Structure 1
Amino acid sequence: MATEDSKSNGHASAVTSALSGGNSSSPAAGKRVTRSEAHKSKEVLAPKSEHYEFGGPLGCLFVSTAVPLTSYGLFYFCNGEAGCAVPPENWRASLDLMLEGVVKSCFDWKAWAIYFGWYAFTVLAWAVLPGPWVEGTELRTGVKLKYKINAFSTMVLSLFLTALLIAFKGPESFTLLYDHWEGLVTASLFNSVAQAIYCYAVSFQEDRLLAKAANTGNFIHDWFLGRELNPRIGTFDIKYFNELRPGLILWVLLDISCACAQYAKEGQITDSMFLILLFQGAYVFDGLWNEPAILTTMDITTDGFGFMLSVGDLTWVPFTYTLQARFLVFHPVYLGIAGTLAIFAFNGLGYYIFRVANGEKNQFRSGNNPKNLKYMTTSSGRKLITSGWWGRSRHPNYMGDLIMGLAWSLPCGFSTPIPYFYIIYFTVLLVHRQIRDDDACRLKYGDDWDKYCEKVPWKIIPGVY
Structure 2
Amino acid sequence: MAVELNGSTEGLRHRANATGKTNKIVITEQGREIDRRLDTHETYEFGGPLGCIAIMTFFPVLMYYLWICLWFYDGRLVYPTSQDDIKPFLWRMWDHIRTDASPNLYAWKVYTGNVVFQLFLAQVLPGYQQEGLPVPSLNYKTLMYNCNALNALYVTLVTAAGLHWTGIFRLTEIIDNYGHLMTVAMIYGFTVALVTYLYAVLTNTQIRTSGNFFYDYFMGACLNPRIGSVDLKMWGEVRIPWVIVFFLAVSGGCKQYEQYGYVTPNMAFMILATGLYLNACGKGEECIPQTWDMYHEKWGFLVIFWNLAGVPFSYVYSVVYMASHDPETYRFSTLTYIIMYSILLTAYYIWDTSMSQKSRFKMQCQGITEFRKTFPQLPGCVVKNPTYIETAHGNRLLTSGWWKYSRKPNYVADWTMSLMWGAIVGTASIIPYFYSVFFIAVLIHRCGRDFERCSRKYGKDWDRYCQVVKWKFIPYVY
The TM-score range, normalised by the shorter chain, is 0.7 to 0.9
Residues 39-50 of structure 1 mapped to structure 2, 5 A cutoff? 48-50=40-42
Q: d(CA) in 2 for partners of 1:59 and 1:252?
A: 32
Q: d(CA) in 2 for partners of 1:262 and 1:130?
A: 36
Q: d(CA) in 1 for partners of 2:29 and 2:204?
A: 19
Partner of 2:272: 278
Deviates more, 1:413-422 or 1:199-208: 199-208
Contact (CA 8 Å) 1:5, 1:383: kept in 2 or not?
no
Amino acid at match of 1:6: I
User: Which of the residues 301, 323, 328 maps onto 1:329?
Assistant: 323
- Partner SS state of residue 269, structure 1: coil
User: Which of the residues 55, 68, 74 maps onto 1:63?
Assistant: 55
Amino acid at match of 2:303: L
Q: Is the aligned partner of 1:266 residue 2:260?
A: yes
Say how many residue pairs are matched.
Answer: 430
Q: d(CA) in 1 for partners of 2:201 and 2:47?
A: 24
Partner of 1:183: 180
> Greater relative contact order (Cα 8 A, min sep 6): structure 1 or 2?
2
Q: d(CA) in 2 for partners of 1:8 and 1:454?
A: 24
- Partner SS state of residue 437, structure 1: helix
Amino acid at match of 1:318: P
Partner of 2:120: 124
Change (3 A) 1:179 1:10: same
Q: d(CA) in 2 for partners of 1:144 and 1:130?
A: 20
Q: Is the aligned partner of 1:377 residue 2:386?
A: no
Change (3 A) 1:400 1:47: closer
- Partner SS state of residue 133, structure 2: coil
Q: d(CA) in 1 for partners of 2:103 and 2:135?
A: 43
Change (3 A) 1:373 1:132: closer
Deviation of 1:432 after TM superposition, in Å, equals 1.0
Deviates more, 1:122-131 or 1:94-103: 94-103
- Partner SS state of residue 389, structure 2: strand
Contact (CA 8 Å) 1:178, 1:254: kept in 2 or not?
yes
Partner of 2:76: 85
Residues 93-104 of structure 1 mapped to structure 2, 5 A cutoff? 95-104=90-99
Amino acid at match of 2:96: G
Deviates more, 1:198-207 or 1:178-187: 198-207
Contact (CA 8 Å) 2:46, 2:52: kept in 1 or not?
yes
Q: Is the aligned partner of 1:146 residue 2:144?
A: yes
Change (3 A) 1:102 1:4: farther
Describe the superposition over 1:243-302 as per-residue Cα deviations: whole angstroms up to 9, x where unpaired.
111222111111111222222333321111111111121111112110011112222121
Q: d(CA) in 2 for partners of 1:126 and 1:405?
A: 28
Residues 2-17 of structure 1 mapped to structure 2, 5 A cutoff? 6-7=25-26
Residues 427-442 of structure 1 mapped to structure 2, 5 A cutoff? 427-442=440-455
Contact (CA 8 Å) 2:118, 2:239: kept in 1 or not?
yes
Change (3 A) 1:452 1:9: closer
Partner of 2:430: 417
Deviates more, 1:144-153 or 1:104-113: 104-113
Residues 20-419 of structure 1 mapped to structure 2, 5 A cutoff? 48-79=40-71, 81-86=72-77, 95-104=90-99, 105-140=101-136, 141-169=139-167, 173-206=170-203, 208=205, 210=207, 212=208, 215-331=209-325, 332=327, 333-367=330-364, 370-419=383-432
Contact (CA 8 Å) 1:353, 1:397: kept in 2 or not?
yes
Deviation of 1:424 after TM superposition, in Å, equals 0.7
Contact (CA 8 Å) 1:199, 1:306: kept in 2 or not?
yes
Return the TM-score normalized by structure 1.
0.86
Amino acid at match of 2:26: K
Deviation of 1:390 after TM superposition, in Å, equals 0.8
Q: d(CA) in 1 for partners of 2:23 and 2:188?
A: 37
Q: d(CA) in 1 for partners of 2:464 and 2:129?
A: 38
Change (3 A) 1:370 1:415: closer
Deviation of 1:380 after TM superposition, in Å, equals 2.6
TM-align CA RMSD: 2.7
- Partner SS state of residue 462, structure 1: coil
Deviation of 1:87 after TM superposition, in Å, equals 5.1
Describe the superposition over 1:11-33 as per-residue Cα deviations: whole angstroms up to 9, x where unpaired.
999xxxxxxxxxxxxxxxxxxxx
Partner of 1:23: none
- Partner SS state of residue 201, structure 2: coil
- Partner SS state of residue 70, structure 2: coil
Contact (CA 8 Å) 1:225, 1:308: kept in 2 or not?
yes
Change (3 A) 1:200 1:372: same
Q: d(CA) in 2 for partners of 1:100 and 1:5?
A: 60
Contact (CA 8 Å) 1:46, 1:209: kept in 2 or not?
no
Deviation of 1:96 after TM superposition, in Å, equals 2.9
Amino acid at match of 2:346: L
Unmatched 5+ residue regions in structure 2?
1-21, 370-381
Q: d(CA) in 1 for partners of 2:227 and 2:161?
A: 33
Deviation of 1:239 after TM superposition, in Å, equals 1.5
Deviation of 1:48 after TM superposition, in Å, equals 4.0
Describe the superposition over 1:27-51 as per-residue Cα deviations: whole angstroms up to 9, x where unpaired.
xxxxxxxxxxxxx9xx969954100
Amino acid at match of 1:117: G
Deviation of 1:308 after TM superposition, in Å, equals 0.8
Deviation of 1:232 after TM superposition, in Å, equals 2.4
Deviation of 1:319 after TM superposition, in Å, equals 0.8
Change (3 A) 1:8 1:209: farther
- Partner SS state of residue 335, structure 1: coil
